[in-house]
Amino acid sequence: MPEDHAPAPPVAATDTPDRDFPPSRDAALARLAEFVPHAGRDYAGRRNHDLPGHPHVSVLSPYLRHRVISEAEVCAAVLERHAKSAAEKYVQEVVWRTYFKGWMERRPGTWDAYLRGVAKGRDRLATEGGLRRGWEAACEGETGIAPFDDGAKELVRTGYVHNHARMWFASVWIHTLGLPWELGADFFLRHLLDGDPASNTLGWRWVAGLHTRGKTYLARPGNIRRYTGERYAEADLSRLSKEAPALEEPAPAAPSDMPGDAPIPKGRVGLILHEDDLHPAYLMARGLEAAEAMVLLNPEGRSPLEVARKVRDFTDALTADAADRLPCDVAAITRDPAEVSAWAKGFDAVVAPYAPVGPGRAVLDRVETEIVRPIRDWDLAAWPHATAGYFKVKAKIPALLEAADG
C-alpha cells in the first residue's frame, strides 16, 4: 500500500505505450527476469509513481493472480538478486496479496455480502435514474475528473491500472461521486486481467473504511499531481471530496477455522486444473501422478454483468498454456461442472489445487464428487495469521520465505 509520505525521487514521464500481457508462464518468467534488477531500492523509492508504461512496478499481478507464477517464486527470484533489506518493500507488497486471500478465506461471508451488495446496487440502477447516469459516466470515464476518467479508460483499454491509481479511483468513486462501492468493485472485476475476489473486494473495502474499520483513503489533488509526473498539473481537481467519512456496517463475523490440508490420494487419480492456480507443480512435488486432467473455468462468474472479452480471452489462453505444461493428457477444457462430474467417475480419487473463495471455487463446488484440495505451504504458513490487520502476516514473512513448496 502506498504511503503519502514516501520519498519522491525525480521521475520523468515517458511516452512508453501500454504494457501488454502475453498469456503464458514463459511471458511471466520473462517479465519477472526483466523486473528483478529493479525490485530493490528502485522499487521502494518509485513504486507509487503512476507513469505511462508503468516503469516502476513489476506489472506481474495478472500472472500472480492466476498463480501462473507463485508469490514464493517471485520473492525467491528477488531475494537471490537483492539483500533482504533492499528487497523488503517488494516482498511486503507481494505478501499483501497473500494476506488478503487468507483474510477472505477466513471470512468467506465477506464475499457473499459483496455479491449481495452488487445485486442491490443493480436493483438501484434499474430504479434510480440519477444513480444510473452517474454509474454510466463513471464506467465510461466521462465524469470530467481527468485522472479518474483516464483510470476508467485505461482499465477498459488495457485490463491493468497502477495500484495508486486504483486507490484514487476507488476513493473518487466512493467519496466524491457517492456511488455504491460494490458497483465500483464489480466494474474492476469485469475489466481487470488480475481481477481477484480477495484483493479487489478488500482493496475497495479498505478505501471505504470497512476493512480497517473507520480508516478510509482520501484521494487528494496534491498527491495525484505529485505521483503522476505532474501530468494533471493543469487539471481541475477542485471537485474531489475533501473528506472521506467511513462507511458503516455490522462488525464482521469471527474468523472461521483454517481450512485443512489434504494428502495426495493413492490409486488412479484425476487432476482438475482451475484458474486460481495454473502452475500446480507443488502437487507433483508431493507425489501426484495424475492419470489425466480436466480443466474447469469460470471467468464469467466474476460478475453478474458481462465480463470483458479481454479478461475471458486472457484467462482462456493462460489456462490453455497451463494445460499444455501438464505431464498428463487433458480430457477437456470446460465451463460445465456436469462434464467434470461425469469425467470424475473414471478415477479412484480426484485432486485439485486449493481454490480460494470466489467464482473459481463456486464452480468447483458444483462438481458432484469429492475433490481433494491440498493447500500450498506458503498459504499454510500465512493464513493462520490473516485474521486481523496485515502486521501479523508481515511478521511471518521469514517463515513464509522458508515454505517448502510455495
* Interface residue with ligand FAD, options 44, 57, 118, 145 (CB under 6 A): 57
Residue 19 has a CB neighbour count (10 Å cut-off) of 16
* Interface residue with ligand FAD, options 72, 78, 94, 350 (CB under 6 A): 94
Q: How far is residue 21 from each of residues 42, 192, 318, 373, 378, measured CA to CA in Å?
A: 23, 12, 10, 29, 25
d(CA 358, CA 51): 31
* Interface residue with ligand FAD, options 25, 67, 107, 166 (CB under 6 A): 166
46: contact with ligand FAD by CB under 6 A: no
The torsion region of residue 178 among left (phi > 0), alpha (psi -120 to 50) and beta comes to left
Nearest to 386, CA basis, from 258, 270, 263: 258
* Interface residue with ligand FAD, options 38, 65, 66, 82 (CB under 6 A): 65
240: contact with ligand FAD by CB under 6 A: no
* Interface residue with ligand FAD, options 36, 44, 79, 167 (CB under 6 A): 167
* Interface residue with ligand FAD, options 38, 46, 47, 211 (CB under 6 A): 47
203: contact with ligand FAD by CB under 6 A: yes
Cβ distance to ligand FAD smaller for residue 270 or 299: 299
Decide if 213 contacts 226 (C-beta within 8 A): no
Cβ at position 61, least distance to ligand FAD in Å: 3
* Interface residue with ligand FAD, options 58, 110, 216, 303 (CB under 6 A): 58
3-state secondary structure of 212: coil
Residues in the chain: 406
Cβ distance to ligand FAD smaller for residue 134 or 195: 195
48: contact with ligand FAD by CB under 6 A: no
d(CA 68, CA 71): 10
Cβ at position 166, least distance to ligand FAD in Å: 4
Residue with cell 473504511: 209
Residue 63 has a CB neighbour count (10 Å cut-off) of 28
Residue 231 has a CB neighbour count (10 Å cut-off) of 16
Q: Using CB under 6 A as the criterion, what x/- string covers residues 177-196 for binding ligand FAD?
A: -----------x---x-xxx
Q: Which residues bind ligand FAD (CB under 6 A)?
A: 1, 47, 57-61, 64-65, 93-94, 96-97, 100, 162-163, 166-167, 170, 188, 192, 194-196, 199-200, 203-204, 207
